[in-house]
Amino acid sequence: EAGVVQSPRYKIIEKKQPVAFWCNPISGHNTLYWYRQNLGQGPELLIRYENEEAVDDSQLPKDRFSAERLKGVDSTLKIQPAELGDSAVYLCASSSPSKGSMLNEQFFGPGTRLTVL
Protein backbone atom coordinates (compact mmCIF):
# COMPACT_ATOMS: atom_id res chain seq x y z
CA GLU A 1 0.00 0.00 0.00
CA ALA A 2 1.39 3.37 -1.03
CA GLY A 3 1.85 5.89 1.74
CA VAL A 4 1.03 9.58 1.85
CA VAL A 5 2.79 11.35 -1.01
CA GLN A 6 3.91 14.96 -0.79
CA SER A 7 5.65 17.22 -3.26
CA PRO A 8 7.91 18.99 -3.52
CA ARG A 9 10.19 17.63 -0.81
CA TYR A 10 12.15 20.86 -0.58
CA LYS A 11 11.36 24.42 -1.62
CA ILE A 12 13.42 27.58 -1.33
CA ILE A 13 11.77 30.89 -2.13
CA GLU A 14 12.26 34.57 -1.44
CA LYS A 15 9.91 36.36 0.91
CA LYS A 16 6.72 37.76 -0.62
CA GLN A 17 6.69 34.98 -3.23
CA PRO A 18 3.83 32.46 -3.42
CA VAL A 19 4.34 28.76 -2.79
CA ALA A 20 2.15 25.67 -3.00
CA PHE A 21 2.42 22.19 -1.53
CA TRP A 22 0.64 19.12 -2.79
CA CYS A 23 -0.52 16.02 -0.92
CA ASN A 24 -1.97 12.73 -2.10
CA PRO A 25 -3.35 10.76 0.86
CA ILE A 26 -3.56 7.00 1.24
CA SER A 27 -6.27 5.62 -1.00
CA GLY A 28 -9.60 5.42 0.78
CA HIS A 29 -8.64 7.76 3.62
CA ASN A 30 -11.39 10.29 4.11
CA THR A 31 -9.63 12.53 6.60
CA LEU A 32 -6.69 14.68 5.57
CA TYR A 33 -4.58 16.92 7.79
CA TRP A 34 -2.02 19.63 7.14
CA TYR A 35 0.51 20.28 9.91
CA ARG A 36 3.36 22.75 10.26
CA GLN A 37 6.46 21.74 12.17
CA ASN A 38 8.85 24.49 13.19
CA LEU A 39 12.45 23.66 14.05
CA GLY A 40 12.69 21.99 17.45
CA GLN A 41 8.92 21.78 17.84
CA GLY A 42 6.24 19.18 17.37
CA PRO A 43 3.78 19.31 14.46
CA GLU A 44 0.90 21.78 14.83
CA LEU A 45 -2.38 21.28 13.01
CA LEU A 46 -3.24 23.87 10.37
CA ILE A 47 -6.37 22.35 8.85
CA ARG A 48 -8.33 19.10 8.83
CA TYR A 49 -10.59 17.87 6.04
CA GLU A 50 -13.34 15.29 6.17
CA ASN A 51 -13.69 14.41 2.50
CA GLU A 52 -13.82 17.80 0.75
CA GLU A 53 -15.06 19.75 3.78
CA ALA A 54 -12.67 21.70 6.02
CA VAL A 55 -13.93 20.78 9.52
CA ASP A 56 -11.17 22.46 11.55
CA ASP A 57 -9.21 25.40 10.15
CA SER A 58 -8.99 27.40 13.36
CA GLN A 59 -5.17 27.38 13.31
CA LEU A 60 -4.81 28.34 9.65
CA PRO A 61 -3.56 31.94 9.17
CA LYS A 62 -6.23 32.83 6.68
CA ASP A 63 -4.71 36.15 5.62
CA ARG A 64 -1.97 34.36 3.70
CA PHE A 65 -2.69 30.63 3.84
CA SER A 66 -5.31 28.77 1.85
CA ALA A 67 -6.05 25.12 1.27
CA GLU A 68 -8.34 23.08 -0.88
CA ARG A 69 -9.28 19.46 -1.29
CA LEU A 70 -11.28 19.23 -4.47
CA LYS A 71 -13.09 15.91 -4.97
CA GLY A 72 -12.06 14.85 -1.48
CA VAL A 73 -8.78 13.24 -2.53
CA ASP A 74 -5.67 15.34 -3.26
CA SER A 75 -5.07 18.54 -1.37
CA THR A 76 -3.08 21.71 -1.96
CA LEU A 77 -1.82 24.13 0.67
CA LYS A 78 -0.84 27.58 -0.53
CA ILE A 79 0.98 30.51 1.06
CA GLN A 80 0.78 33.93 -0.58
CA PRO A 81 2.82 35.93 0.13
CA ALA A 82 5.39 33.92 2.10
CA GLU A 83 7.15 35.48 5.09
CA LEU A 84 10.44 34.60 6.74
CA GLY A 85 8.59 33.02 9.67
CA ASP A 86 6.89 30.54 7.36
CA SER A 87 10.11 28.53 7.07
CA ALA A 88 9.16 25.10 8.44
CA VAL A 89 8.35 21.55 7.44
CA TYR A 90 4.77 21.16 6.18
CA LEU A 91 3.40 17.70 6.87
CA CYS A 92 0.35 16.08 5.37
CA ALA A 93 -1.36 13.16 7.10
CA SER A 94 -4.42 11.04 6.37
CA SER A 95 -6.59 8.66 8.33
CA SER A 96 -9.66 6.48 8.05
CA PRO A 97 -11.94 5.02 10.74
CA SER A 98 -10.66 1.66 11.95
CA LYS A 99 -13.01 -1.04 13.12
CA GLY A 100 -12.69 -1.58 16.85
CA SER A 101 -10.40 1.40 17.28
CA MET A 102 -11.25 4.57 19.15
CA LEU A 103 -8.69 6.51 17.24
CA ASN A 104 -8.21 7.25 13.58
CA GLU A 105 -4.49 6.50 13.30
CA GLN A 106 -2.85 9.25 11.30
CA PHE A 107 -0.33 8.32 8.62
CA PHE A 108 2.13 11.07 7.79
CA GLY A 109 3.87 11.92 4.55
CA PRO A 110 7.59 12.86 4.45
CA GLY A 111 6.83 16.56 4.49
CA THR A 112 7.92 19.57 2.45
CA ARG A 113 10.77 21.60 3.90
CA LEU A 114 10.17 25.27 3.07
CA THR A 115 12.92 27.84 3.37
CA VAL A 116 11.98 31.49 2.93
CA LEU A 117 14.93 33.82 2.30
Partner 1 sequence: DQQVKQNSPSLSVQEGRISILNCDYTNSMFDYFLWYKKYPAEGPTFLISISSIKDKNEDGRFTVFLNKSAKHLSLHIVPSQPGDSAVYFCAATANFGNEKLTFGTGTRLTIIP
Task: Report whether 53 contacts 37 (CB < 8 A).
Answer: no
Out of 16, 68, 105, 117, the residue judged to bind partner 1 by CB under 8 A:
105
Cβ of residue 102: shortest distance to partner 1, in angstroms?
5
CB atoms within 10 A of CB 99: 4
In angstroms, rounded to a whole number, what is the distance separating the alpha carbons of residues 51 and 78?
Answer: 19
Cβ of residue 107: shortest distance to partner 1, in angstroms?
8
Strand pairing report for 112-116 and 88-95: antiparallel
In angstroms, rounded to a whole number, what is the distance separating the alpha carbons of residues 53 and 8?
Answer: 24
Cβ of residue 32: shortest distance to partner 1, in angstroms?
13
Kindly identify the residues of this chain, within the stretch 28-67, that bind partner 1 according to CB under 8 A: 40-45, 48, 56
The residues of the shown chain that bind partner 1, judged by CB under 8 A, are: 4, 9, 40-45, 48, 56, 91, 93, 101-111
